[in-house]
Amino acid sequence: MFTGIIKKTARVKSVEKSSEGLTLKVRNPGWRLKKGNSIAVNGVCSTVIASGITLAFQYMPETVARSAAGALRAGETVNLEPSLKVSDRLDGHIVLGHVDTVGTIIAVKKEGNSQTFTVKPREPKKFMKFVAEKGSVALDGVSLTVTKVRPLYFAVKLIPYTLENTTFKNKKVGSFFNVEFDILAKYLKKLSKR
């Protein structure tokens, strides 16, 4: 489990695709990790399969299909967050690292010291029911507050600190995000059907 508060960013060293899935290697930002540890990589809960100067992760076809992991390229930057300890502060919101879908940036607008990103999820009719104004959403693992909701898209605003310390500084119209909707919204929707 994670909080959506990014601790580090790191460069992708390689992305190896096969019919069996994907292996991702990123530069270790200096963390002491061992095999089996969980790290959120752009919001995807990822198990460390090799640790050292380089961290390696494997993704199954389900993860590749639901996330933007397959679109990563060597040299790009990814957001990293270690898994939550019981004694840690929950500064963001509960993020599981189970990406629901991919979102595309359809607009970026500067407003004072912030920037607004408007995001359209793949299959909006399926997913927009989980989005509420002033609710939470995780984009590439970053815990954000939703500021606007429309039938096909939603918007979030980022303060300068978040822009500077995450991969958002490299995003533009047409860029992709891994989107994880709030787990509470998903369970409430499921329970309301009964």
pTM of the model: 0.93
Q: Quote the distance between the C-alpha of residue 15 and its chain's center.
A: 18
- Give the length of the chain: 194
What are the tens digits of pLDDT across the range 156-190? 999 999 999 999 999 999 999 999 999 988 898 88
| 154 has a pLDDT exceeding 90 | yes
Residue 190 pLDDT: 84
3-class DSSP state for residue 66?
helix
Residue 192 pLDDT: 85
What are the tens digits of pLDDT across the range 85-123? 888 888 889 999 999 999 999 999 999 999 999 999 999
- Is there a shared CATH topology between the 8-82 domain and the 101-192 domain? yes
By the 8 A CB rule, do 24 and 72 touch? yes
Report the pLDDT averaged over residues 54-60: 97
- CA–CA gap between residue 15 and residue 69 (Å, rounded): 9
| 133 has a pLDDT exceeding 90 | yes
Query: What's domain 101-192's architecture?
Result: Beta Barrel (2.40)
Residue 85 pLDDT: 86
Q: Quote the distance between the C-alpha of residue 102 and its chain's center.
A: 9
How many Cβ atoms sit within 10 Å of the Cβ of residue 183? 17
Residue 75 pLDDT: 96
| 8-82 CATH choice from 2.60.40.420, 3.40.50.2300, 2.30.30.240, 2.40.30.20 | 2.40.30.20
Question: How is the chain split into domains, by residue range?
Answer: 8-82, 101-192
- CA–CA gap between residue 110 and residue 61 (Å, rounded): 37
Where does residue 108 rank: exposed (0-12), middle (13-18), buried (19+ CB within 10 A)? middle
Using pLDDT thresholds of 50, 70 and 90, give the confidence band for residue 194. Answer: low
Report the pLDDT averaged over residues 30-36: 95
